[in-house]
Amino acid sequence: MKRLALYLRVSTLDQHPETQMYDLHQMAEQRGYRIVNEYEDRISGAKARRPGLDAMMRDARRGQFDVVLVWACDRIARSTKHFLEVLDELNRLNIEFISFREQIDTAGPLGRAIMVIVGAVAELERSLIVERVRAGMRRAKLEGRHIGRKALVLDRAAIHRGRQNGQSLGQLAKANLVSRTTIHRVLGEQIPAVTKGLEKPAA
């Protein structure tokens, strides 16, 4: 018996998911699925953060169910792009996706064909993103702009002197706008010039 997760969403607080719930439970019973989790959001589909959907995807990555059943495709995603991303991830996790209203079932022949298209679109999107990043890096290089994190410039001698004068790691970190770990690493380095500069002049 396959383990089933139900996902329901209503757009406003004055709506109720009972209609969706009834249809989904009926389909689960007809197919002989065992419902192990139900996730619900009462929020607009355009909102980026949805606690119910986020929780469902976390549990999907943990392998807690085999099938996701929704009332309609527009219930699960805020945009076509987001819908394709969700389907692509579920496919990679070997989790079937079923939509009650559209009668999409990724376990069937048509559903598998849809997943091939979804996978191709997702792969194309990833390739375009990589190419855009590379093009940006090439343009920045041609314009003479620095790429990546700027090199950290520290007055190591001053840090050593400050430590020898009794300053704490926290005080040194704050004064140099770096972490205590960085200060600790710098203090572990040997600075001959500091020692030489602190030597008393010969009488």
Percent with pLDDT over 70 in the chain: 80
Residue 123's contacts (CB-CB under 8 Å, 6 or more residues apart) are none
Active-site residue flag, 79 = no
pLDDT band at 26 (very low <50, low <70, confident <90, very high): very high
> Which comes out higher in pLDDT, residue 121 or 55?
55
Average pLDDT, the chain: 80
Task: Note the pLDDT of residue 63.
Answer: 95
From the CA atom positions of the chain, what is the Rg in Å?
29
Task: Note the pLDDT of residue 107.
Answer: 80
Highest mean pLDDT among 57-61, 118-122, 181-185: 57-61
Closest listed residue to residue 100, CA positions, set 17, 158, 190, 183: 17
- pTM over 0.85, yes/no: no
Assigned fold of 3-123:
Rossmann fold (3.40.50)
Q: What is the pLDDT of residues 74-105, one digit of tens each?
A: 788 767 778 878 888 998 899 999 989 878 88
Rounded CA gap, 112 and 35, in Å?
Answer: 23
Domain boundaries, the chain: 3-123, 156-198
Residue 164's contacts (CB-CB under 8 Å, 6 or more residues apart) are 194, 198
Token output for 179: 């972490």
Choice among 11, 44, 79, 168 that is catalytic: 11
Classify the phi-psi angles of 32: left when phi > 0, otherwise alpha if psi is within -120 to 50, otherwise beta. Answer: left
Task: Note the pLDDT of residue 15.
Answer: 62
Rounded CA gap, 167 and 113, in Å?
Answer: 67
Between strands 104-105 and 96-99, the pairing is antiparallel
